[in-house]
Structure 1
Amino acid sequence: MDMRARPCRSVLYIPASKARALEKARTLPVDAIIFDLEDAVSPSEKAAARETLAEALAQGYGRRLTIVRINALDTEWGRADAEATATMPCDAVLLPKVDAPAHLDDMAALTDKPLWAMMETPRGMLAADSIAAHPRLAGMVMGTNDLAKDLQARFRADRMPLMAGLGLCVLAAKAHGRVIVDGVYNAFKDDEGLRVECEQGRDMGMDGKTLIHPALVDVANAAFAPTAEEIDLARRQIAAFEEAAAQGQGVAVVDGKIVENLHVDTARETLAKAEAIETLTAE
C-alpha cells in the first residue's frame, strides 16, 4: 500500500531503548509507531538503543507503519543513527527540527528510506512549503511542545497560539500529498481533552495524532476514522450522483443538499479510508 494511503490515525512514540515497550507495541491497535532514538533515550543509552531497536524491528510489527526518529545530524549521535537506519527494516526515518529542505538533503545522502520531518520550529513553519515539496519526503509530524516553547506561547486549550504554524503545515502537506500528523496531547489521563484536540486536528485536515501513552490510542483511532454516519452519507451521495449522471444531470440532492463532483470525490476518499482501516484492524 502507498504510504500516503495507509491509515495514520494513531502514531505512538516508543522509546527505542526499552525492550519491554518495544515488545508490547506489537499488541497495540496503533496505525503507526515512532521508535524514538532522540528525546526518549538518555545520552548514555544512545548506542545500545540502536542495537535494541534493530533487533526489535527485525522481528516485525505487522502492518503497522514503522518510523524511526533519529537524533539531529548536528549531534554526536545523529550520523550513526542515520547510517543505522539504512539497514533497519523500517518504513521511514523521522528527522527532528527540520528547518529547511537542506536538512532533508543531508539525511537523504545517508539512507534510502522515505523521510519524515518533525515540524517544530518557527523557521520550519515558515519553510513548510519547500520542506513538503522535497522529493524524498513522505510525512510531516507536528512537534507542538517544542514549537510552543520557541514561540514563548501560553498554553490554551484551543491552541490558538499554534494555529498559524499548524495551518501552514497542513496547507503544505496537502499541497504536496504528504501525510501530516498532529502533535502530542500531554495530559495522558484526560480522554475528553484528547478527544477535543483530536477532533480539532481532524477538522483541520490532519491525518492522525502522535501519542505518548498506549491508553490514548482508542480515542485517536475513533476520532480520525470515518463515523458510521459519514460512511452511510458517502454511499448515498455516490449512489445519488451516479443515478443523476445516468439521467444526464450534473448534480444530485441528498438530505436537502447539493452533491457535485467534488462531494463525490470526498465520499470516495471516505470509503477508501474506511476500507483501509478495516483491512489494517483485521490483522
Structure 2
Amino acid sequence: MLIHHARSLLFLPASNERAIAKARDLPCDMVILDLEDAVANDRKEEARSNAVAALQQGFGNRLKAARINVAGTPWHGVEMVAMKAAPVDYVVLPKVEDPRQVKDVFSVTQKPVIAMIESAKGALAAPSIAAAEGTAALFVGVNDLRLDLRIPAAVGRAGLSLVLQQTVLAARAAGIAVFDGVYNRLDDLAGLQAECIEGHALGFDGKTLIHPGQIDIANRLFGPDPQAVVDARRLIEAATGGAERFEGRMIETMHVVEARALVARADAVTPSR
C-alpha cells in the first residue's frame, strides 16, 4: 500500500508486547511502534528491542513505522541507528520545527520520515518541512499543539482549524501525504466519527489513532464511498477525451484523473485486512 492510501494509522507503545502481537490481526493500514511519549524513560531500551523484533517479524501487508525520540534526548542517536538496520517503512519524528531535523534523521536512517507538526513554530515552518529531502508525510500532533497554542481541550478544535488547514496545504504543495491527529476520548465513538468527517472534509488522507476500537470508523470515513467508486468507474469508461456531457453534467480531463485516483484508492484498501 502507498502511504497516501492509508486511512487508519495506529500508535502502539513499543513496550507493550501484547498489544503489538494483537496488532497483526487488526484492520489498520499502518502500525506505528511508539518509542517516545507512550514509553516511560526506564523502559526505553526494552521498547527499542521490542520494536526491532516486531518489525523483523512484520505486520502482514500493513505499513510499518516507528516513532523515535527527538534530538537532544539520550535515546535519539541509538534509535536512529536501530531504525537504519530495521525493516521499517517509515520513521516518525515528533516535534519537528525545522527541516534540518528531518534531513538529519533521513541521512542517518536512510528511511523516509513522517514529520509531526506539534507547535506554533512547526506550523509556521510546515511548508519547508514538507518540502525537505526525506519527508514522506506530515502528522498533526493535536495534543501538543493545544498546549503550545494555549487552547483548552474542552472547547473543541475550532482554535486549531487554521493549523490543520495550513498543514494540509503544506503537504499538498509538496506532493506528500498528510494525516489528522489522534482523538483522545476512547469511549466517545460519536465524537471520533465527527472528527473523522471534519478531517476528511479538510483534505486529510487518514487519521492517526490510539486504540484498536477506533480503526473501523477511520477506515469507513476516510475510505472511498462505495457508490462514488461505482460512479467513477462508469465515468472513466464513458469518457472519450476533452469536455463532454456525462449523466447530466460536464466533465473533462481533470474529472477523469480524479475518478482514476478514487478507483486506485479503493483498489488499494479493499478488502480491509
Q: Shorter-chain-normalised TM-score: which range?
A: over 0.9
Per-residue Cα deviation, 1:47-79 (whole angstroms, up to 9, x for no partner): 111111111111111111111000111111111
Counterpart of 2:43 in structure 1 is 45
2:85 is the counterpart of 1:87: yes
Task: Report deviation, 1:257.
Answer: 2.8
Matched position secondary structure for 1:74: coil
Give distance in 1, aligned partners of 2:24 and 2:213: 15
Rate the CA distance shift 1:147–1:42 in 2: closer, same or farther, 3 A.
same
Instruction: State the partner residue of 2:268.
Output: 276
For residue 267 of structure 1, the aligned residue among 242, 252, 259 is 259
1:251 corresponds to which residue?
244
Q: CA offset at residue 158 of structure 1? A: 5.5
- Kindly, what percent of the aligned residue pairs are identical? 42
After the TM superposition, list the runs of 4 or more consecutive aligned residues in structure 1 that deviate by more than 6 angstroms: none
TM-score normalised by the chain length of structure 2 = 0.95
Q: CA deviation at 1:265?
A: 1.3
Number of equivalenced pairs: 273
The one-character-per-residue Cα deviations of 1:65-106 (angstroms, maximum 9, x if unpaired) are: 111000111111111111111111110101110001011122
Contact conserved, 1:17 with 1:49, CA < 8 A, in 2? yes
Q: 1:195 corresponds to which residue?
A: 193
Q: Gaps spanning 5+ residues in structure 1: where?
A: none
SS across alignment from 1:186: coil
Q: Distance in 2 between matches of 1:156 and 1:271?
A: 38
Deviation at 1:107, TM superposition (A): 1.2
Structure 1 residue identity aligned to 2:160:
L
- Helix, strand or coil: the match of 1:209? strand
Unaligned runs of 5+ in 2: none
CA distance in 1, matches of 2:70, 2:191: 31
8 Å contact kept, 2:103–2:133: no
* Paired residues of 1:180 and 1:206 also in contact (CA < 8 A): yes
Residues 190-246 of structure 1, C-alpha deviations (whole Å, 9 max, x = no match): 11111111111111111100111000100000001111121122123223333xx4x
Cα RMSD (Å) = 1.5
Aligned residue type for 1:25: A
Partner of 1:225: 223
Answer yes or no: is the 8 Å Cα contact 1:9–1:209 preserved in 2: yes
Q: 2:12–2:32: 8 Å Cα contact kept in structure 1?
A: yes
Local SS of the residue matching 1:82: helix
SS in 1 for 2:263: helix
Q: 1:173: which partner in 2?
A: 171
* C-alpha contact (below 8 Å) 1:241/1:252 kept by paired residues: no
Contact kept in structure 1, 2:102 and 2:133, CA below 8 Å: no
Answer yes or no: is the 8 Å Cα contact 2:7–2:222 preserved in 1: yes
Q: Distance in 1 between matches of 2:265 and 2:154?
A: 31
Question: Are 1:97 and 1:118, in contact at CA under 8 Å, matched by a contact in 2?
Answer: yes
**Match in the other structure for 2:162:** 164
Asked if the contact 1:9/1:225 (under 8 Å) is kept, the reply is yes
Q: Which amino acid aligns with 2:157?
A: R
Q: Where in structure 2 are the equivalents of 1:1-283 lying within 5 Å?
A: 3-5=2-4, 7-155=5-153, 159-242=157-240, 245=241, 250-254=243-247, 256-278=248-270, 281=272
- Mapped partners of 1:172, 1:217: distance in 2: 26
Q: Is the 8 A contact 1:154 1:161 kept in 2?
A: no
